[in-house]
Amino acid sequence: MKSTILLSFFLVFCSVIVSTTASKPCHRFGEACPRPHNRLIAYRKQPNNYMFTMMFCEIFCRKNKAQYMIFGSNTCGCFESCKNPTRVRSRRVIVMFPLQADPDKVCH
């Protein structure tokens, strides 16, 4: 009886761990969505690249119903799609990630 309870607890624990790690979005460092192929919904300049600024950028893009967000050192870009992401040569960090369902399969 005790081993059955432990086994069931272990299986529930493993399923919770797998489901929570699978639902987290991926982050693509140093990549961006090229503008001729993808529609830019909203663009915003920002004073710095702190983490709370990234949170404001994410809220800004979600309000504009964007699918993808690009967070750079001084910019925040919200895109409707992100087909063929390209590498960006920059000394500063650029992060691109899907906000919703990843329709263009950037993370696969």
- Which 3 state secondary structure label does DSSP give 90? coil
pTM of the complete model beyond 0.75: no
- Evaluate whether residue 9 is within a structural domain: no
- The number of domains in the chain is 1
pLDDT, residue 97, reads: 85
- Evaluate whether residue 65 is within a structural domain: yes
- Evaluate whether residue 83 is within a structural domain: yes
- Evaluate whether residue 106 is within a structural domain: no
DSSP-assigned letters across all residues of 54-65: HHHHHHHHHHTT
- Evaluate whether residue 42 is within a structural domain: yes
CATH code for the domain in which residue 53 is found: 3.50.4
- Evaluate whether residue 91 is within a structural domain: yes
pLDDT, residue 92, reads: 74
Domain span at 44: 26-98
pLDDT, residue 2, reads: 60
pLDDT, residue 9, reads: 44
- Evaluate whether residue 13 is within a structural domain: no
Q: From residue 47, how far is each of 27, 53, 60, 69, 89 by CA, in Å?
A: 22, 8, 15, 17, 21
Position with higher pLDDT, 5 vs 26: 26
- Evaluate whether residue 80 is within a structural domain: yes
pLDDT class for 5, splitting at 50, 70, 90? low
Position with higher pLDDT, 102 vs 17: 102
